[in-house]
Amino acid sequence: VNYPTGLYVPYSTRTHLEDALNENIKSDPSWPNEVQLFPINTGGHWILVSLQKIVNKKNNKLQIKCVIFNSLRALGYDKENSLKRVINSFNSELMGEMSNNNIKVHLNEPEIIFLHADLQQYLSQSCGAFVCMAAQEVIEQRESNSDSAPYTLLKNYADRFKKYSAEEQYEIDFQHRLANRNCYLDKYGDANINHYYRNL
């Protein structure tokens, strides 16, 4: 979902990110039975958002659980608040849809967890690659164990990656980009980017 967190729909209090997220969720037939993963560009930086509908064990009510995976040390107050508002907006819309379908349901406030992984010490331009690798980790691990919590999988991935030396991290990043270089070609025609990736 390639919309900055603060880009508003004209003459509206909604952001384009809210609209895009809601539209993507509605069009996916696997929701709400499956975890949904969204790469989101917050404006110059990619993060991974995981959405899952769970039953809160304390009160037995439905709840949206959201994990926001960030490969940097922090996102900043404004972006975090914007993302919280987007998730709360999505939660409200979901409640409205269920009411319209005559389903009596009560949702808790969404649980929103920011996982600031701090992985870019040696790879300052690799936020997009980290989002792809983290998403792949969640998908593959949940295929073998569908009960695995996205937060646990993402935390384990980050902790494991940090144990690699700088040279090993460079190599993992390079091999990922090499295998997926067609995905990184700049569709807007940036000659420098395209030249770099075509020559990997």
116 is catalytic: no
Sequence letter at residue 107: L
Ramachandran class of 76: left when φ > 0, alpha when ψ lies in -120 to 50, beta otherwise: left
Task: Indicate which CATH number applies to the domain containing 56.
Answer: 3.30.310
Confirm whether 98 is domain-assigned. Answer: yes
Confirm whether 134 is domain-assigned. Answer: no
Which pLDDT value is given to residue 110? 81
* Domains: count for the chain: 1
Catalytic residue among 16, 66, 127, 132: 127
Nearest to 127 by CA among 28, 39, 13, 64: 39
pLDDT in tens, 44-73: 889 999 988 887 788 877 788 899 999 999
Catalytic residue among 45, 66, 116, 176: 45
Confirm whether 35 is domain-assigned. Answer: yes
- 146 in Cβ contact with 102 (< 8 Å): no
Whether residue 101 is predicted with pLDDT greater than 50 in this model: the reply is no
Ramachandran class of 178: left when φ > 0, alpha when ψ lies in -120 to 50, beta otherwise: alpha
Which residue range(s) make up the domain with 115?
A: 16-120
Confirm whether 159 is domain-assigned. Answer: no
Q: Which is more confidently placed, 30 or 189?
A: 30
* Sheet of strand 46-55: strand arrangement: 36-41, 46-55, 62-70, 111-116
Which pLDDT value is given to residue 91? 66
Q: What is the pTM of this model?
A: 0.77
127 is catalytic: yes
Which pLDDT value is given to residue 32? 63
Whether residue 129 is predicted with pLDDT greater than 80 in this model: the reply is yes
Q: Which is more confidently placed, 41 or 159?
A: 159
Confirm whether 114 is domain-assigned. Answer: yes
Whether residue 94 is predicted with pLDDT greater than 70 in this model: the reply is no
